Amino acid sequence: MTVDRSTLLDCLADWGRTVEKFHRLPADRQAAFLLRQGYPRFGDLLAHVTGWWQEGIHVVEGARADAHFVYAEPDTDAFNARVVKHAQGQNEAALEAQFEAMRVRMAHLVEESPAEVLAHPLAQAWLSADILEHYEEHRLPATVFLALGSNLGDRLANLHTAVDALAPEVRVWAKSRVYETPPWGYADQPAFLNMAVQAETDLTPEALLRRLKQIEVEVGRQPSFRYGPRQIDLDILFYDDLVLESDVLTVPHPRLHERAFVLVPLLDLAPEWMHPVLGKSVASLLTGQDQSGIHLYME
């Protein structure tokens, strides 16, 4: 695989977003992430990434200075020991400043380097092996919000079965209460039960959609018509603050801001969450919506 300039820049920008995302997580999710990654503190992760970038700068600059630059991969234990030493005794704010400075420097270097420098076999070997893979390995899972609806069969059991089926790929960390809601879009059908969940996942948006469609079938969804009755409907509301529009998937969900049956459960979970396109919080999207007929069904 060849690492081109834009892939590398995307990856660097994502690292910056990862840090922002980390700070937005509740404390227990931060702790769970660090534990999974084997870092005692967030500063250790920052130091590690910064250390890798420093090596990358040596490689890219070395490739520019001397086509015969030999990059000897430092032995990993020695490298890690250096990183730990570097992180010790520094407070996290200082490490974060350093991380940010390094991110800017690396991005600048990528922008400024002649294409042949980045294409140099040494630079390519290092970039693809270390920066990109390292990034994949330490990427924070996405925070997602899903809407669930059912108006056929045992509605409550359908919701619960679907929530339980999400694991292990989709790890639910908060559930809204369950609301009974009058049918929207096509009135001549039974009332819905609606709820929302907040979860984290390593699945891409498209893979997440495929998984949700599978669960709909597992729970027993029969083909119906648009806005028609169903055993279960699973929609992706938000995927981090991603904005995406493809043939199969639109994120944020294109109609979420018009639907009290989605916004009321979402309000239980994340009143302050910002809609990345409309620039409004969930709470303010709900203001002025018709909420008549919606009532709490179960705590």
User: Is 233 among the residues known to form the active site?
Assistant: yes
Residue 28 annotated among the catalytic residues of the structure = no
Q: Is 235 a catalytic residue?
A: yes
Catalytic residue selected from 233, 240, 241, 268: 233
Site string for ligand A4P, 221-250 (x = CB under 6 A): -----xx-----x-xx-----------xxx
Under rule CB under 6 A, how many of the chain's residues touch ligand A4P? Answer: 21
Of 65-73, 83-91, 253-261, 281-289, which part binds ligand A4P (CB under 6 A)?
Answer: 253-261
Binding partner of 58, given ligand A4P, Mg ion, none, CB within 5-8 angstroms per partner class: none
Q: Which two tokens stand for residue 129?
A: 């092996």
The DSSP result for 161-227, as a single string, is HHHHHTTTTEEEEEE--EEEE---S--SSPPEEEEEEEEEESS-HHHHHHHHHHHHHHTTPPP--TT
Q: Which residues contact 256 (CB under 8 A, 6 or more apart)?
A: 147, 235, 237, 262, 263, 266, 275, 285
240 is a catalytic site residue: no
Using CB under 5 A, which residues numbered 222 to 241 contact Mg ion? Answer: 233, 235
Alpha carbon 147 to its chain's center: 17
CB-nearer residue toward Mg ion: 113 or 151: 151
Q: Does 297 bind ligand A4P (CB under 6 A)?
A: no
Helices (H), 38-144: 42-65, 76-87, 92-112, 115-119, 121-126, 133-138
- 156 near ligand A4P, rule: CB under 6 A: no
Task: Return the one option of Mg ion, ligand A4P, none that residue 264 interacts with (CB less than 5 to 8 A, by type).
Answer: none
Residue 216 lies near Mg ion (rule: CB under 5 A): no
Which of 64, 155, 221, 259 is flagged as catalytic? 221
CA distance 196 to 269: 8
Question: Hey, what are 16's tokens?
Answer: 């910056």
Say which amino acid occupies 205.
Answer: P
Q: Distance between CA 53 and CA 131 in Å, rounded? A: 8
In the complex with ligand A4P, the residue whose CB is nearer, 66 or 247, is: 247
Residues making contact with ligand A4P (CB under 6 A)? 149, 181-185, 192, 194, 209, 226-227, 233, 235-236, 248-251, 253, 255, 261
List the catalytic residues: 221, 230, 233, 235
